[in-house]
Amino acid sequence: MGEGIADYTKFTVDLRRHMWMAGVEKDLRRLIWQIATTGKYISAKIHESNRKMVGVKNIYGDDQLALDKISDQILQNKLANSGFVLEYASEEQDSVIKVGKGDEKYFITADPLDGSSLVDTNLAIGTIIGIHRESIFSTGRHSMVAAMYITYGPLITMIYSAGKGSHEFVLDREGEYVLSEEDIKLKDKGSIYSLGGLRRDWTEGHLKYVQYLDAEGYKLRYSGGFVPDINQILLKRGGIFTYPGLKDSPKGKLRLLFELQPMAFICEQAGGLATDGVHDILSLQVEKLDQRCPVYIGSRFEVEKAKEYLSGN
Ligand code: F6P
């Protein structure tokens, strides 16, 4: 570094500053920041749990709440006190919870701890959030204004998009989310694939699609956690994640509101695509909270190719 030239690598941009510089609207900035901070509390609970997750008893014999339920409570409490959220819909609850007083402007969907069954194996897990400006019973394209997810892995990272690109932050030792990857952009074609569902349950079209990817030399990357699997595609700048419709469950496994819409929003903002094999995930009408649908999400080329195979062309 020459004399007199500042070493900009020594300067960090924290989440609040980034959103401000990116022109994200004030209330949305504050909301995203508040949600990001819940990641610290959820991560503390994961550590405290010592990798146990389901309704276990503590050393005194008392029932302990499962980690995903605790994460849900942390989020709900935070959002109820945020002043910005009218309704909260969580993968952990049967109905939409009104958490606001009446004039708040945002509607939140949450998968508080996705992949929580992986806690005992010490694989990465995550929190997925959709932020809507209108009722969630619409299409994502119409109602969503932002999305984010937090990955609890060797590092805690967070990706958000408020419709101006997708950006990654790392939680540093001081407890600050610091910008690590700005405006992530997927290549048109990647080289990894992440394939959900049992091979014997795949439809003919999907099987042929995977055979095509095999022949092209795609490398398998599947952890069983939606958050780290999508995160890998984003950070490696391409590839495809699928959880297809299966022979006896044509809607697949993953949930439209809690898992697919937020990831579709972030992926599209990174220049990728997300479809159910025919339609964009964000154009699908939400009818009910636990609605599931097949998903093909990632680089444009692979998602378009899936469409071809699924339509039999
Ligand atoms: O929906 C929960 C989830 O654990 C996702 O995080 C993940 O992508 C998927 O299920 C894994 O499903 P399977 O165990 O069938 O591979």
User: What pLDDT does 160 receive?
Assistant: 98
Classify the C-alpha dihedral 225-227-228-229 as positive or negative: positive
Asked, for residue 231, whether it belongs to a domain, the answer is yes
98 lies in the same domain as 50: yes
Asked, for residue 101, whether it belongs to a domain, the answer is yes
- Strand runs (DSSP E) across the chain, as ranges? 85-90, 97-98, 106-114, 125-132, 144-152, 156-161, 167-171, 177-181, 192-195, 219-220, 240-243, 273-275, 295-298
CATH number at residue 220: 3.40.190.80
For the entire predicted model, the pTM comes to 0.94
Question: What tokens were used for 113?
Answer: 């701890």
Tell which one of 91, 121, 201, 254 to mutate to probe ligand 1, the residue whose CB is within 8 A of the most ligand atoms. 254
25 lies in the same domain as 107: yes
**DSSP 8-state class, residue 247:** T
Single residue among 148, 181, 214 that ends a domain in this structure: 181
Task: Report the DSSP beta bridge partners of residue 170.
Answer: 157, 178
Question: How many whole angstroms from 166 Cα to the centroid of ligand 1?
Answer: 23
Question: How many whole angstroms from 93 Cα to the centroid of ligand 1?
Answer: 18
User: What pLDDT does 117 receive?
Assistant: 81
- Residue whose Cα lies nearest atom 12 of ligand 1: it is 224
120 lies in the same domain as 230: no
52 lies in the same domain as 168: yes
Task: Report the DSSP beta bridge partners of residue 97.
Answer: 88
Tell which one of 121, 128, 226 to mutate to probe ligand 1, the residue whose CB is within 8 A of the most ligand atoms. 226
**DSSP 8-state class, residue 259:** I
Q: Which atom of ligand 1 is nearest to the CA of 224?
A: 11
Question: What tokens were used for 270?
Answer: 């990174």
Beta-carbon contacts of 134 under 8 Å, excluding residues fewer than 6 positions away, are: 107, 142, 143
CA–CA separation, 262 and 231 (whole Å): 13
User: What pLDDT does 58 receive?
Assistant: 47
Give the amino acid at 309.
Y
Beta-carbon contacts of 204 under 8 Å, excluding residues fewer than 6 positions away, are: none
Q: Which atom of ligand 1 is nearest to the CA of 253?
A: 1
Of the candidates 166, 152, 136, the one whose C-alpha atom is nearest the C-alpha of residue 261 is 136
Question: How many whole angstroms from 254 Cα to the centroid of ligand 1?
Answer: 7
Question: What tokens were used for 80?
Answer: 């109820």
Question: How many whole angstroms from 20 Cα to the centroid of ligand 1?
Answer: 35
CA–CA separation, 59 and 204 (whole Å): 51
User: What pLDDT does 10 receive?
Assistant: 53
Beta-carbon contacts of 265 under 8 Å, excluding residues fewer than 6 positions away, are: 130, 140, 144, 146, 147, 161, 282
195 and 209 in contact (C-beta within 8 Å)?
A: no
Question: What tokens were used for 9?
Answer: 């690598």
Asked, for residue 233, whether it belongs to a domain, the answer is yes
Total domain count, the chain: 2
Pocket of ligand 1 (CB under 6 A): 114-115, 196, 224-226, 253-254
Where helices occur in 84-152 by DSSP H, the ranges are 140-143
Question: How many whole angstroms from 226 Cα to the centroid of ligand 1?
Answer: 6
User: What pLDDT does 313 receive?
Assistant: 64
Question: How many whole angstroms from 112 Cα to the centroid of ligand 1?
Answer: 14
Question: How many whole angstroms from 76 Cα to the centroid of ligand 1?
Answer: 23
Question: What tokens were used for 180?
Answer: 């690590």
13 lies in the same domain as 67: yes
Location of structure tokens 């795609």: 218
216 lies in the same domain as 88: no
155 lies in the same domain as 12: yes
- Residue whose Cα lies nearest atom 15 of ligand 1: it is 197
Q: Write out the chain's pLDDT in tens, 313 residues.
A: 334 444 445 568 999 999 999 999 999 999 999 999 999 999 999 988 877 655 555 444 555 568 999 999 999 999 999 999 999 999 999 999 999 999 999 999 999 999 888 888 899 999 999 999 999 999 999 999 999 999 999 999 999 999 999 999 999 999 999 999 999 999 999 999 999 999 999 999 999 999 999 999 999 999 999 999 999 999 999 999 999 999 999 999 999 999 999 999 999 999 999 999 999 999 999 999 999 999 999 999 999 999 999 997 6
Question: What tokens were used for 151?
Answer: 């990955």
Give the amino acid at 50.
N
Question: How many whole angstroms from 32 Cα to the centroid of ligand 1?
Answer: 26
Tell which one of 253, 291, 295, 296 to mutate to probe ligand 1, the residue whose CB is within 8 A of the most ligand atoms. 253
CA–CA separation, 193 and 185 (whole Å): 17
Of the candidates 303, 308, 310, 307, the one whose C-alpha atom is nearest the C-alpha of residue 194 is 303
Tell which one of 71, 90, 114 to mutate to probe ligand 1, the residue whose CB is within 8 A of the most ligand atoms. 114
- Containing structural domain, residue 177: 3-181
Asked, for residue 187, whether it belongs to a domain, the answer is no
User: What pLDDT does 118 receive?
Assistant: 87
User: What pLDDT does 223 receive?
Assistant: 96
Question: What tokens were used for 203?
Answer: 């439809």
214 lies in the same domain as 150: no
Question: How many whole angstroms from 160 Cα to the centroid of ligand 1?
Answer: 22
Question: Which helix (H) or strand (E) segment is 43 a member of?
Answer: helix 26-49
